[in-house]
Amino acid sequence: MTRVIKTVKEWNELYKSENLSASQLGFVPTMGALHRGHASLIEKSVADNRKTAVSIFVNPTQFNDSNDLQKYPKTFEQDFAMLEEYNVDYLFFTSYEELYADKFAYQVHENSFSKILCGAFRSGHFDGVLTVVLKLLNIIKPGRAYFGEKDYQQYKLVKGMAEAFFLQTEIIACPTVRDEDGLALSSRNLLLSPEEREFALNFPRLLKANKSCDEIKFELEQLGFKVDYIEEYDGRYLGAVYAGKVRLIDNVIL
């Protein structure tokens, strides 16, 4: 049975009482609305570690649009059922007041890679991501933490932060999980109408096409997408587009 922990004090007491250690503990941080992509991270953690912890926290400091925050899907009952199905030992399900007692006075900034790609279009987004991830890693104290490659820029920034601050947690990347039709799984997919969901398939299709970034961007715009960027980085094509009002990101290895 998955045990729910809501405060840092409670987690610290459990960590001691159950004789946990970094070498035996894996961690998957999430914002809920769990899907098979999250399940793949959890499966990897359960396979690698004696114990696995998952967090569910919709982090407001990484949203540059308050409407986007309000619309973010919340599916706790289904999420908890998935955690139990996949034999997760602990759920850290805390509050903003608990994590941000400082009211976001202390923040983590990265001054280079976080300013391009998604960072160029979402001011302050990665400050919020890195700050909350650092807090969670310091609280949970895992030996390994698992991140999906769909959010490739996020993964690289978190990995870089862990190395820069000499954290004891190894940041492990897991491959993007896609639906049978090729769309990368994302909690935001729940916000797509059936028509938008079908339309969104053009995004991964064109990313995988043997075309230049400019050609892909042009064709997406001709189809009706609003395109934030299509760029090559680290041997991948990375992109962010809007299908209707829903922002989708994806990347493919060249």
Q: Are 32 and 56 in contact (CB under 8 A)?
A: yes
Query: Given CA atoms 104, 110, 111, 117 in this order, what sign does their dihedral have?
Result: negative
CB atoms within 10 A of CB 198: 13
35, 38, 109, 125: the active-site residue: 38
Does residue 41 contact residue 82 with C-beta atoms inside 8 Å? Answer: no
User: How many angstroms separate the CA atoms of 139 and 11, rounded?
Assistant: 8
Q: How far is CA 111 from each of CA 35, 126, 157, rounded to the nearest angstrom?
A: 32, 10, 11
C-alpha distances out from residue 53 to 114, 142, 145, 166, Å: 27, 8, 9, 21
38 among known catalytic residues: yes
Active-site residue set? 38
